[in-house]
C-alpha cells in the first residue's frame, strides 16, 4: 500500500519507530539545523521540528522542515495553536504539504507566560483536537474548516498529536487521548517519561479501551545531562513528572551526565517491553550528540 511518509511506513510495517527532536535556533542560521540533522542522520526515522517550544521565539518550524528536506531527512512539522488563527494554520498546512512535509504534529502550545514574551497575546482560536479534525477534513474530504473546497491539491499528511500521561486522574487523560484519535490523530508522541509507574498505568488504560490498536503510541524519552537540567524538568517544565528517586540519582552522582544517560537506557529498556508502545521519541535538549550512542546501545539502530 502507499504511505504518506516514511514514519507512517515504519510504524505500519515494522511496528517500532524512532523519532528525534531538532529544536530550531534562536536565530536565522540554517546551519544550526543542518548540523543537528547530520549528528542524528541514521538514528531516527523522522525528525520533529518544534514550533516556538515553551513559547520562546525561534526559527519557524516550517523553515526548519524545509532545511531538513533539503538534506534528505524527513521532518515532522509541529504546529501550535497558540500563535495563529485557523486561517493561518490552514494556510501553513497547505504550504507544508506543497514543499514536501508529510508529517504534522498538532499541539495546543505552552501558554505564552512561560516564554520570553509573557505579555504577548495568545491566539488559541483552535485547540489541538479541533486542528486535528480540520487537517483530516482537508486531507480526506478536500474542504477547509469553512466548508469551502480545496481547489488544487489536498494535503497528503500523516497526522499526529501529543499526550501527557502524568496528570491525574488517568481516566480523564485517556478520555482526552481518545478525543484526539476520534478527531483523526494517527500517531501520538508522549511527554517525556521519567515516572514509569504512571506511564504503565496510562498504557494499561489505553489498552483496556483498545486505543493502542487505533493509533501509534510513540513514547517520549529525554536524557538528563546535569542536575541543573533535572531541576528544570522536575520543577519548571509543565507536565513533566520526575520522581524523587531519579532526581536523587542525578543529584548524588559523581558523574551526573553518565548517570542521566544510564537512566535513559534503563527507561528505554523498560518502555520497549510495554505492550502497545510503537516507538520512541527522543528529545535531548542541547545534547543531541548523545542520541546516536543511546539508540545504538538500546538496540534500536540502525534505522533503515
Rounded distance, CA 233 to CA 244, Å?
A: 12
Residue that has been written with the C-alpha cell 498538532 in this structure: 106
Residue 173 covered by a domain? yes
Of all residues in the chain, the percent with pLDDT exceeding 70 is 99
- Say if residue 263's pLDDT is above 80: yes
Chain-centroid distance of CA 7 in Å reads 13
DSSP annotation of 278: E
Residue 240 covered by a domain? no
Residue 232 covered by a domain? no
Core vs surface per residue 116-139: b (16+ CB within 10 A) or e:
eeeeeebbbebebbbbbbbbbbbb
Supply the mean pLDDT for the chain.
Answer: 96
CATH of the domain at 127: 3.20.20.220
- Say if residue 97's pLDDT is above 80: yes
Residue 158 covered by a domain? yes
What integer pLDDT is reported at residue 167 of this predicted model? Answer: 85
Among the listed residues 298, 281, 302, the one whose alpha carbon sits nearest the alpha carbon of residue 22: 281
What integer pLDDT is reported at residue 256 of this predicted model? Answer: 96
Each residue's pLDDT tens digit, 152-170: 999 999 999 999 999 888 8
Residue 15 covered by a domain? yes
Each residue's pLDDT tens digit, 41-68: 999 999 999 999 989 999 999 999 999 9
Each residue's pLDDT tens digit, 176-198: 999 999 999 999 999 999 999 99
Least confident window among 10-19, 257-266, 271-280: 10-19
Residue 208, classified by CB atoms within 10 Å of its CB into exposed (0-12), middle (13-18) or buried (19+), is exposed
Rounded distance, CA 63 to CA 57, Å?
A: 13
What integer pLDDT is reported at residue 15 of this predicted model? Answer: 78
Task: Give how many domains the chain has, as a whole number.
Answer: 1
Rounded distance, CA 102 to CA 83, Å?
A: 22
What integer pLDDT is reported at residue 1 of this predicted model? Answer: 65
Q: Are 100 and 76 in contact (CB under 8 A)?
A: no
Query: Which residues form the domain of 188?
Result: 6-223+274-290
Answer whether 0.85 is exceeded by the pTM: yes
Least confident window among 26-35, 113-122, 195-204: 113-122
What integer pLDDT is reported at residue 4 of this predicted model? Answer: 96
Question: What's the mean pLDDT in 219-241?
Answer: 93
What integer pLDDT is reported at residue 81 of this predicted model? Answer: 97
Question: What's the mean pLDDT in 224-240?
Answer: 92
Residue 238 covered by a domain? no
What integer pLDDT is reported at residue 238 of this predicted model? Answer: 78
Amino acid at each position: 500500500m502507499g504511505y504518506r511518509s516514511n514514519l507512517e511506513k515504519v510504524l505500519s510495517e515494522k511496528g517500532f519507530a524512532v523519532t528525534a527532536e531538532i529544536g530550531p535556533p534562536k536565530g536565522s542560521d540554517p546551519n544550526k539545523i543542518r548540523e543537528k540533522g547530520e549528528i542524528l542522520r541514521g538514528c531516527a526515522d523522522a525528525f520533529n521540528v518544534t514550533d516556538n517550544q515553551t513559547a520562546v521565539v525561534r526559527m519557524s518550524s516550517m523553515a526548519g522542515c524545509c532545511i531538513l528536506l533539503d538534506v534528505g531527512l524527513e521532518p515532522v512539522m509541529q504546529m501550535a495553536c497558540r500563535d495563529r488563527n485557523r486561517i493561518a494554520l490552514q494556510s501553513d498546512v497547505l504550504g507544508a504539504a506543497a514543499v514536501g512535509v508529510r508529517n504534522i504534529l498538532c499541539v495546543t502550545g505552552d501558554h505564552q507566560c512561560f516564554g520570553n514574551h509573557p505579555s504577548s497575546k495568545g491566539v488559541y482560536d483552535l485547540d489541538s483536537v479541533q486542528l486535528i479534525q480540520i487537517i483530516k477534513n482537508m486531507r480526506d474530504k478536500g474542504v477547509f474548516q469553512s466548508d469551502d473546497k480545496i481547489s488544487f491539491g489536498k494535503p497528503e499528511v500523516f497526522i499526529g498529536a501529543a499526550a501527557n500521561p502524568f496528570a491525574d486522574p488517568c481516566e480523564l487523560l485517556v478520555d482526552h487521548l481518545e478525543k484526539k484519535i476520534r478527531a483523526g490523530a494517527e500517531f501520538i508522541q508522549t511527554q517525556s517519561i521519567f515516572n514509569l509507574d504512571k506511564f504503565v498505568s496510562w498504557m494499561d488504560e489505553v489498552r483496556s479501551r483498545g486505543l493502542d490498536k487505533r493509533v501509534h503510541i510513540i513514547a517520549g524519552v529525554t536524557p538528563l545531562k546535569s542536575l541543573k537540567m533535572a531541576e528544570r524538568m522536575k520543577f519548571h517544565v509543565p507536565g513533566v513528572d520526575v520522581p524523587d528517586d531519579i532526581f536523587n540519582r542525578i543529584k548524588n552522582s559523581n558523574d551526573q551526565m553518565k548517570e542521566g544517560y544510564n537512566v535513559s537506557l534503563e527507561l528505554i529498556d523498560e518502555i520497549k517491553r510495554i505492550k502497545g508502545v510503537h516507538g520512541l521519541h527522543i528529545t535531548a535538549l542541547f545534547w543531541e550528540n548523545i542520541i546516536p550512542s543511546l539508540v545504538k546501545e538500546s538496540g534500536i539502530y540502525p534505522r533503515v
